Amino acid sequence: MFPPAGVYVPQYRDLYARVGAEDWLWFSRLGMPPAALEAIIRHPKVEIFVITRDGRDEGLLELDLRVAGECELAFFGLTKALLGQGAGRTLMTAAIDRAWSHPIRRFWVHTCTLDHPDALSFYIRSGFRPYRRQIEIADDPRLTGVLPDTAAPHVPIIR
Structural domain boundaries in the chain: 9-144
CB atoms within 10 A of CB 9: 17
User: Which of 144, 132, 78, 81 has the alpha carbon at shortest distance from 108?
Assistant: 132
pLDDT in tens, 4-25: 444 588 999 999 999 999 889 9
pLDDT attached to residue 3: 44
pLDDT in tens, 67-79: 999 999 999 999 9
The CATH H-level (homologous superfamily) assignment of domain 9-144 is Gcn5-related N-acetyltransferase (GNAT) (3.40.630.30)
16 within 8 A of 57, measured Cβ to Cβ = no
- The average pLDDT across 50-68 equals 95
Burial of residue 38 (CB within 10 Å: 0-12, 13-18, 19+) is middle
pLDDT in tens, 75-105: 999 999 999 999 999 999 999 999 999 999 9
